[in-house]
Amino acid sequence: MFMNRRSFLGASAAAASVIAITGCSRGGGGGGGVTFLIDNDPSAVAGAEALTEAFNSSQEEYTFSVDTRPGGTEGDNLVKTRLSTQDMPDVFVYNSGSLFQAIRPTQNLTDLSDQPWVSRLQESFVPAVSAEDKVYGAPYGGASAGGIMYHRPTYEKLGLEIPRTWDDFIANCQAAHAEGVTGIIQSFGDTWTSQLLVLGDFHNVAANNPDFAEQYTAHQIGFATDPNALRGFEHTAEVCSSDFINEDYVSATYQQAIGYVAAGEGAHYPILSSAVAEIAASTPDLVEDLGFFAIPGEDAAKNGLTIWLPSGMYVPAFAENPDAALAFIEFVTSQEGLDILAAEAPPTGPYMVTDVDLPAEVPTATKDLQVYFDTEGATTPALEFLSPIKGPNLENILIELGTGSIDAKTAAQNYDKDVEKQAQQLGLEGW
């Protein structure tokens, strides 16, 4: 039983095409090529491309290229997969704080404690990229903040002042509502935006109890049992049941919400300061109409800003070109590197390197943040940078709360239960 000629020809043609494909897909890499992995945010990609280009022309030895990954949960999975299969590019950007702790830094990353830029870091940033007293990451770009973005022309027209207490804030919302402007915008269509009134309130919690983060990690205190921490949940319930919230708050998306504030249809929107960069990109002529203030608390004297630390740059423990990676990181933390980055990706807040200042031409809303940074004790990193615990379901619980399915106390209790699982997975004491 032998093959006839035609089927033999067919089989060899198929074999040849497989070989041809194998031949095509080789190439890439080789020489002094190093890859820099960053998330796929358009301004982040533009910044990374400008940085690698400048670095490539500043030295001869290595050629950096940019590779992208998705953000969010998909990105978390991808980073963990690539680390555990030892396939991570030599420099990569990933969140600092609790997500950084989740990628097992002591096992997967190179210790950077002896690098020259470590001494120039802001004190508040160091714990967010450290594990077992060793520094594993360098700051990538500027910090951002969680607070309330407001429409400045509305404030001028109504003669309002920036509120320092929650009661003043509610009064401002009502004043705007009386003039036909929506008092406060919420956008549960993008679930992550529901968390700002709780997470962004952390400075006010920490101002009343500076040890909150430690006690929280040790399971001595919770959101339901601490009246100050519970206030964030109560605020969410209060604004969502008020008559001055936008009618479509359950379904509105982040994009729509920032559109409402930029156009002056809404007076306030609790959000991250990175929204300013988004508005600067989508509606550049409206960006100067926006301002930013911290979420008001009970005590005007203690009011301050909750900040989100920038992502870190890390080098995997199995990096192929660690020297190139370290040189690149040093470049990105220098004045020159940060200026190049700022030209492509406008900073959303102050830098985490002490001797580099923000460029002069940033939007007003970003300058509003600098005031808090310049005041002693007026900024606190968000809880997720001070404690490894952050429950995955906070946004869902807050949406239940915001739509009136449960009350504030129950929501806080549910969240305390949600973080329990995570704390046990991390093997923390006291859980």
Under 8 Å between Cβ of 207 and 376: no
- Determine the Cα–Cα distance for residues 128 and 137; give it in Å rounded to an integer: 9
Closest of 300, 308, 185, 204 to residue 249, by C-alpha = 185
Using rule CB under 8 A, residue 211 touches another protein: no
In angstroms, give the least distance from the CB of 26 to another protein.
8
Degrees, nearest 5: CA angle 393-388-137: 120
H-run or E-run covering 106: helix 105-108
Between 55 and 94, how does the x/- string for binding to another protein read (CB under 8 A)? ----------xxxxxxxx-xx--x--xx-xx-x-------
Q: Does residue 301 sit in helix, strand or coil?
A: helix
Using rule CB under 8 A, residue 392 touches another protein: no
Using rule CB under 8 A, residue 278 touches another protein: yes
Under 8 Å between Cβ of 294 and 144: no
| Stretch of residues binding another protein (CB under 8 A), selected from 35-43, 115-123, 195-203, 225-233 | 35-43
In angstroms, give the least distance from the CB of 316 to another protein.
14
Among 274, 387, 413, 414, binds another protein (CB under 8 A): 274
CA distances from 176 to 169, 200, 359, 361, 368 (A): 11, 22, 33, 30, 21
In angstroms, give the least distance from the CB of 126 to another protein.
25
Amino acid present at 94: Y
- Determine the Cα–Cα distance for residues 392 and 415; give it in Å rounded to an integer: 9
Nearer to another protein, 124 or 283 (CB): 283
Using rule CB under 8 A, residue 3 touches another protein: yes
Helices (H), 219-271: 227-240, 254-263
Among 124, 208, 283, 370, binds another protein (CB under 8 A): 283
Among 33, 41, 120, 158, binds another protein (CB under 8 A): 41
- Which residues have CB under 8 Å from 119's CB, separation 6+? none
Tell me, by CB under 8 A, how many residues bind another protein.
Answer: 52
What CA dihedral angle connects 82, 84, 90 and 93, to 10 degrees? 60
Degrees, nearest 5: CA angle 319-45-353: 70
Nearer to another protein, 228 or 274 (CB): 274
Using rule CB under 8 A, residue 39 touches another protein: yes
Using rule CB under 8 A, residue 1 touches another protein: yes
Nearer to another protein, 106 or 192 (CB): 192
Using rule CB under 8 A, residue 45 touches another protein: yes
Between 170 and 209, how does the x/- string for binding to another protein read (CB under 8 A)? ----------------------x-----------------
Using rule CB under 8 A, residue 282 touches another protein: yes
Nearer to another protein, 103 or 237 (CB): 103
Closest of 69, 122, 131, 74 to residue 97, by C-alpha = 131
Using rule CB under 8 A, residue 405 touches another protein: no
Residues that bind another protein (CB under 8 A): 1-4, 7, 10, 17-18, 21-22, 24-26, 28, 35, 39-45, 65-72, 74-75, 78, 81-82, 84-85, 87, 192, 253-256, 259, 272, 274-275, 277-278, 281-283
